[in-house]
Amino acid sequence: MALRVFITGASSGIGAALARHYAASGASLGLVGRRLDALTELVASLPGTHAVYRVDVAEPGALADAATDFMARFGVPDVVIANAGVSVGTLTEEADDLSAFERVMRTNVLGMVATFQPFVTPLRGRGCGRLVGIASVAGIRGLPGAGAYSASKAAAIAYLESLRVELRGSGVKVVTIAPGYIDTPMTAINPYPMPFLLPADEAARRFARAIEAGVGYTVIPWRMGVVAKLLRLLPNPLFDRLFARAGRKPRGLPL
Going 26 to 14 to 205 to 4, the CA torsion angle's sign is negative
> Which helix (H) or strand (E) segment is 178 a member of?
strand 172-179
pLDDT tens track for 182-197: 988 888 778 777 888 8
Q: Supply the pLDDT for residue 193.
A: 77
Q: Flag whether pLDDT at 220 surpasses 80.
A: yes
d(CA 231, CA 224): 10
CB 194 within 8 A of CB 187: yes
> pTM (2 decimals)?
0.94
Cis peptide before 221 (omega within 30 of 0): yes
pLDDT, the chain, mean = 94
Whether the per-residue pLDDT at 109 is higher than 90: the answer is yes
Res 55: pLDDT: 97
Give the total residue count for the chain: 255
Q: What are the backbone dihedrals phi and psi of residue 10, each rounded to the nearest 5 degrees, phi first?
A: -90, 0
Residues designated catalytic: 149
Look at residue 200 and tell me whether its pLDDT is greater than 90.
Answer: yes
H/E run at residue 131: strand 129-134
Share of the chain above pLDDT 70, in %: 100
Q: Is 174 helix (H, G, I), strand (E, B) or coil?
A: strand
Task: Give the C-alpha separation, 227 to 16, whole Å.
Answer: 27
Per-residue pLDDT tens for 56-100?
999 999 999 999 999 999 999 999 999 999 999 999 999 999 999
Q: What is the DSSP letter of 146?
A: B
User: What's the 3-state SS for 23-91?
Assistant: HHCCCEEEEEECCHHHHHHHHHCCCCCCEEEECCCCCHHHHHHHHHHHHHHHCCCCEEEECCCCCCEEC
How do strand 217-220 and strand 172-179 relate by DSSP bridges? Answer: parallel
Amino acid at 26: G
